[in-house]
Structure 1
Amino acid sequence: MQVKDTFVGSAVIVGRRFPIVHVHDNNSIVEVSSFNTYVRGSSGNQMPTSKSPHCSKNDYLRWKNCQGRDFTINGLMFNPYSEKIYDYLGGIEDIKKAKVRTVIPAATSFHEDCARILRAIRIAARLGFSFPKETAYYVRNLACSVARLDKGRLLMEVNYMLAYGSAEASLRLLWRFGLLEHLLPFQAAYFSSTLFKRKDNGTNMLLVLFSKLDSFLAPNRPCHNSLWISILAFHEALVRKPRDPLVVATFALAVYLGGDLPLAVDIGQSINRQHDAGFAELLEPRMRGKKGLLAEVKDLAISMRQALTEMTDEYYVANAMAKIPQAP
C-alpha cells in the first residue's frame, strides 16, 4: 500500500495472498514487492528464529527472507555497492544445472501459493530450464489449483508467458503439464484434436505462429497483450473453417495496411508465388476473382471476431473443455 500511495494513479496491486505492485512508468511496468513478504493473514513467524553464532545480523535477515522465496534461483541477492552475490539456497548451482527448484518441498510451496506453478512454467520456458522430478510431479498434479486465481492474475501470468519472447516454449510446457486446458481451453482442444506430441516440430500451426512472434520479442521488448490474443482468435477462426492461403495472406495485408481492404485485395491478387498449404488449417490454393477474394477475407474477419467472443464466454469455454480428455 505504501508503494501504491507513493505512485498515485500509476500503481496497481496484483495478487491477494502475496501482493505485488505494478508501477506504470512511461511504456514499461516495474514490478515491486516487499523485502519481507508473508501470506496475508499469517503471523510471519513461520521461519526459525535461531541463528548460528558465526552469522551476522544482516546475513540472518537475508537468509530468513530467502526462506520465503518461491524458487532457489529467485533467492539470489545482489549488493550493487559491493558487487557481491548472496546465495543461501543453492541458486547458483541450480542455474548451472538449468533447474527450477522450489525452496521448500514443492507440494507445500504450491499449496501455499498456486501462482508459483505458473511462474515455474514461465521461468522454465524463458530460460530453457527443466524441473527436478519432485517439482515436475507437483506442477502436473496440482495444475487444476490455478483455477482458484482471479482473472486479473491469470491474465498477467499468461501475458508474461506469451508476450515476452517465449510463447512457443510456454505453450509446449503448459500442454505437457496439463495447464493449458485451465488457461486456454480452445487451444488445448486444438492440441488434443491434432494428437499433438511433445517432439512435433513445424506441423502445429499455432506453435509456428507463436514461434514467429517470439523472433520479434524479448524480455525487454514485449508486445501488447492484444497481439497474442488476436493470434489466438485468428488461429481459432482457421481451425473452425480452413482457408485458402491467399485469403489468409490478403487478410494479413489488410491488417498491416491499417484496414485498407481494397488495397490489400489488389496486392493479394498480384501475388503469384506458390503458397504453403502444409497445415490442416489451410486449403489448397485455387483461382478466384476480386469479389470472391474480398468476400472471403471479410468472412475470415467475421469468423475471427466470433472466435474472440466465444473464447471469453463461459458456455463456449465449457464446451471446449469437454473436448479435452484430460480436463476435469
Structure 2
Amino acid sequence: MNSYDSKILIVDDQEPNTKLLKRILQSFKYTNIDILLDPRSVLGYCQANAPDLILLDLKMPFMDGFEVMEGIKSIVDPLFIQVIMISAQDEHSNKLRALDLGIVDFISKPFDNIEVILRINKALELKSLHEELKAKNDTLQCEVNVKSQLLEEMQMELIDRLMLSAEFRDARTGHHIARIGFFARHLAELAGLDERKSETIYHASKMHDIGKIGISDEILLKDSKLTDEEMDKMRLHTVKGAKILSGSQSEILKCAEKIALNHHEHWDGTGYPNGIKGESIDIESRITSICDVFDALCSERPYKPSWGLEAVIEELKTIKGIYLDPKLTDLFIEHIDEFIEIKKDIEVN
C-alpha cells in the first residue's frame, strides 16, 4: 500500500485542531483521514477499522491520551498501529511516559506543517518496516514448521525401523508392539490427555521393550518359564532400553526413555528396576503398563494359552492398586469393548 493511502485517525476534542491537521495532511496528498472528537470512541474505531497511524491529543475530557494509548495496547500491538502524540505541553515526564506506552513520536502545538508531515512519514515508514519484518518472520516460521514436520516424519520412520529390528528376532514382539501403541493412545485420550500428548504416547509406548535388543536369544526366545536367574537378566531390558533412548532432545524419545525404564514399576512399589510407586510413576508408563498386561493376558505364549475376556477383566480387577494404577485400570475396563475392537482391527490389517 502506498503511504499516501494509509488510514490516518486524528483524535482531538478541539475541532479546529482536527480540521487544521486534516488540511495539512491533504495538502501533502494524504486522503484516507478520519476524525474523532471523543476519545472514548477510539478503541471501537480501532477494532473496526485498524488505522495505520493515530494522531492522538494528550489533554482531552473523559480520557487523556495516555489512557487511550493504554486501551490501544490492550487490543493490538502498538508496532502495527503507529501513534504520534500531540500536545502543547512539552514536559520531559510526559514524553517518558508516552514512550513507555509505545508512542513513536511527538508533535508540538502550534503545528509546523513540514514537521508534521516529516514525522508522519517517518512513522508510516516505520510501520511498513515492521510489517515487512513480520511477513519475513511468518515466512521463516512456515519454513521452520515444514522442516520440523519433515524431521518428525524422519524420526517416526527411524522408530518404526528400530521396532522392525525387534520383530525380526521375535514376530510375537512385533505384533505386540503395534497393539501397545494403539491401546496406549486410546487410553491416554480416555484419561483426558491432549491430542499431542496422546500421539506422543502412541509412538513412545511402542518402544517400551526396545531394551530386549540387549537380551540374549536363549532368554528372549525361550519356550518355557524363565528361571530366577534368567528373569533377573530379562528385567535388565528396562535399564538397557532407557540407555538406548537416553540423551535425545526429541519429545517422543524422551517420553520413550521414561516408558522403557518404568513400565514394569508397580503401583504398590514392588516393581522394577527402581521400586517407585503410585503417582511417582509417570502417567505415560502407567498407561503403557496396563496396555502391556492386557495384551499379554490376551495373547498366547509358549508357556501359557491366551485368556478369555472374562478372565482378563477379573485379573485386571485383582491387580489394580497392586501392580496397576487403579483409576486408569477402571477406565480401561469401563471401555474394554473399545480395546477389543482395536485389537481386532490390528489383527485384520
- TM-score band w.r.t. shorter chain: under 0.3
TM-score (norm 2): 0.23
Q: Under a length normalisation based on structure 1, what TM-score does the superposition of the two structures give?
A: 0.24
* More helix by percentage: 2
Q: Relative contact order: is structure 1 or structure 2 higher (C-alpha 8 Å, sep ≥ 6)?
A: 1
